[in-house]
């Protein structure tokens, strides 16, 4: 019986020590101040121009809506809307430009509309965006949208799909320039 009484006393003592330790840890952990958000050591993105690095950060999400409207106008063959959305020129990029994946350059909004008219008739292109992100580069007036889409064309009844990345410069709510990078569709 004496053994049982000692066990209960020791068990109760151990249980109390455990509870006191747990409560102390809990109270001190709740009392610890939450550190203020620390500033990142570098910006989330950058642009390297001739060896000079410019920080890039998140930009206005309305740029995404502008690009979506632009792609919709292409899918709807709305050349008037596309022309209205193209800037004649921008402070940062100069005259409107499109740099296509084959190395060609479209050098004006009117040349863009002319090229689209022929392409729409010849290949019936359709765009399907699968991602977009908007960013601001320090020191530039405008902002950017980087967007990926599939592009499906039809020639002589045969469909062909490629994956494009568009690097789009936007200034004053207009498309000022963009670069298109293309990868052929791989069989799954």
Q: Return the structure tokens found at 76.
A: 């709807």
Residue 174: inside a domain: yes
Q: Is residue 145 part of a domain?
A: yes
Give the mean pLDDT of 73-96. 97
Under 8 Å between Cβ of 115 and 97: no
End-to-end CA distance of the chain: 76
Region 75-97: mean pLDDT is 97
pLDDT tens for each residue of 7-56: 445 556 666 665 555 565 555 555 555 555 556 688 888 888 899 988 99
pLDDT in tens, 113-141: 999 999 999 999 999 999 999 999 999 99
Torsion of CA 42, 47, 48, 52, to 10 degrees: -70
Q: Is residue 47 part of a domain?
A: no
Closest by alpha carbon to 130, among 104, 94, 159, 163?
163
Average pLDDT over residues 48-69: 93
Determine phi and psi for 94, rounding to 5 degrees. 80, -140
The range of the structural domain enclosing residue 96 comes to 58-184
Q: Which candidate, 168, 180, 165, 173, places its Cα nearest to that of 144?
A: 168
- Asked whether residue 23 is assigned to any structural domain, the reply reads no
* Alpha-carbon distances, residue 96 vs 18, 75, 110, 150 (angstroms): 73, 21, 10, 24
CA–CA gap between residue 40 and residue 134 (Å, rounded): 20
The domain total for the chain is 1
Q: What is the mean pLDDT of residues 141-157?
A: 96
Residue 43 resides in a domain? no
123 within some domain: yes
| Rounded distance between C-alpha atoms, residue 177 and residue 174, angstroms | 9
Give the CATH number of the domain where residue 67 resides.
Answer: 3.10.450.50
């Amino acid at each position: 019986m004496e053994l049982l009484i000692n066990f209960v006393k020791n068990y109760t003592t151990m249980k109390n020590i455990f509870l006191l330790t747990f409560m102390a840890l809990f109270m001190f952990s709740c009392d610890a101040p939450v550190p203020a958000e620390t500033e990142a050591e570098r910006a989330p993105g950058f642009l390297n121009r001739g060896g000079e690095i410019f920080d890039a950060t998140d930009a206005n999400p309305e740029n995404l809506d502008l690009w979506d409207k632009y792609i919709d106008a292409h899918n709807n063959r709305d050349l008037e809307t596309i022309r209205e959305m193209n800037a004649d020129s921008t402070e940062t990029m100069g005259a409107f430009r499109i740099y296509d994946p084959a190395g060609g350059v479209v050098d004006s909004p009117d040349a863009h509309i002319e090229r689209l008219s022929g392409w729409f008739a010849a290949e019936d292109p359709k765009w399907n965006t699968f991602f977009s992100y908007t960013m601001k580069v320090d020191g530039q007036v405008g902002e950017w949208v980087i967007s990926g889409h599939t592009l499906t064309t039809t020639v002589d009844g045969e469909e062909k799909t490629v994956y494009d990345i568009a690097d789009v410069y936007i200034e004053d709510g207009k498309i000022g320039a963009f670069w298109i990078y293309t990868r052929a569709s791989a069989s799954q």
